[in-house]
Amino acid sequence: MSKKNQSEQELHLRIQELEAELLIKNQELLRYQQELKKTNSSLEELIVDISQELKLAGLVQKILSPTEIPNIPGIEFSTKFVPGTQSGGDYFDIFEHDDRLKFGIILASSSGYTMSALFLSVLMKLSAQIEARKGLEPDKVIRLMANEIVPHIQKQDTASLFYAVIDRRNYELKYSSVGSILGVLQATGQENPSWLQPCTGPLRKNYDENPLTDTISLNSRDRVILCTEGVWNSISDGESFGKDRVMQSILRAPRSGVHEVRNEILYQVE
């Protein structure tokens, strides 16, 4: 075989090798393009979901925080809503009963704005029933709401609820708490505050627990502190603020009023 023919054959083989390599590269490129297309599709869906959540956030949060706190003789309130960095929404209300010596407190925290909207729609649906049945024990109200909320909970969404009724005849506080609402009783004359423990975990898909009602007796100048997860689980100094630091803030705050303890907690969180 002449050198010319040998060179042509080697060139032909090299061309075949390059064509095979090019085919492999083209197949890989096609695979990458398909993966990129899937990723772009998922990203577009995520952007749509986020956009919908943000729209809901604006609508829901306008309604979730009351603009007026009732003036109840003998009781002082201090409340503050601070926008957080986590997806979700909080709701609270303080309302009087037909029995003017009783009033109720409801505080709720949802894991997402969709869940907040669901909670709000259920609250609006049940408001007439709750209004007409204000004599219900707090755990019965929680169950009433759970029966409406739980069947519609999607994926990993959760909701935490705290519902209480205070009778000013004897300053008895009856409450039921499910989930992650942090409750603390700072009793006059006692060195250490006590936790108001939740009786079950949060409302979630397939929730099937039985809330309970607990009762505590309040004395003059006792303080009840309630915080949603957005407060105690917020990031401070690069880590979760935590319930223990909330307790430390309560102990550090002056005992002269309710605004001081609220301000101390939020100051430490920020």
Does residue 123 share a domain with residue 33?
A: no
| Domain residue limits at 129 | 65-269
Instruction: Write down the pLDDT at residue 226.
Output: 95
Distant-in-sequence, close-in-space partners of 55: CB < 8 Å, separation ≥ 6: none
- Phi, psi torsion values for 224, nearest 5 degrees: -115, 120
> Does pLDDT of 129 surpass 80?
no
Kind and range of the H or E run holding 89:
strand 89-96
User: What does the alpha-carbon distance between residue 94 and residue 72 come to, in Å, rounded to a whole number?
Assistant: 10
Given pLDDT bands bounded at 50, 70 and 90, which one contains residue 92?
confident
Does residue 78 share a domain with residue 28?
A: no
Instruction: Write down the pLDDT at residue 234.
Output: 80
| Upper half-sphere CA count for residue 95 (Cβ side, 13 Å) | 14
pLDDT, average across residues 244-249? 90
Does residue 84 share a domain with residue 214?
A: yes
Show the tokens assigned to 228: 């949603």
CB 168 within 8 A of CB 145: no
Helix or strand or coil: residue 181? coil
pLDDT, average across residues 185-205? 92
Does residue 94 share a domain with residue 29?
A: no
Residue 198 region by backbone torsions, left for phi larger than 0, else alpha for psi between -120 and 50, else beta: beta
> Does pLDDT of 20 surpass 60?
yes
Does residue 50 share a domain with residue 83?
A: no
Show the tokens assigned to 199: 């009786």
Does residue 146 share a domain with residue 35?
A: no
Kindly report, residue by residue over 146-177, the tens digit of the pLDDT: 888 888 888 888 889 999 999 999 999 999 99
Helices 243-252 and 258-269, axial angle in degrees (round to 10):
130
Does residue 205 share a domain with residue 112?
A: yes
User: What does the alpha-carbon distance between residue 178 and residue 139 come to, in Å, rounded to a whole number?
Assistant: 9
Residue where one domain finishes, among candidates 62, 87, 105: 62
Burial 155-172 (b: 16+ CB within 10 A, else e): eebbbbbbbbbbebeeee
Does residue 138 share a domain with residue 36?
A: no
Q: How many domains does the chain have?
A: 2
Give the CA angle between residues 265, 253, 244 to the nearest 5°. 55
CATH number at residue 162: 3.60.40.10
Residue where one domain finishes, among candidates 62, 79, 97: 62
The pLDDT > 90 percentage for the chain reads 26
Q: Determine how β-strand 203-204 pairs with β-strand 158-167.
A: antiparallel
Q: Please tell me which residue, 10 or 255, carries the higher pLDDT value.
A: 255
Does residue 204 share a domain with residue 109?
A: yes
Give the CA angle between residues 83, 84, 90 to the nearest 5°. 70
Q: How far does the chain reach from its first CA to its final CA, in angstroms?
A: 85
Does residue 29 share a domain with residue 122?
A: no
> Does pLDDT of 257 surpass 70?
yes
pLDDT, average across residues 4-33? 75
Does residue 109 share a domain with residue 37?
A: no
- The answer to pTM > 0.85 is no
Does residue 83 share a domain with residue 56?
A: no
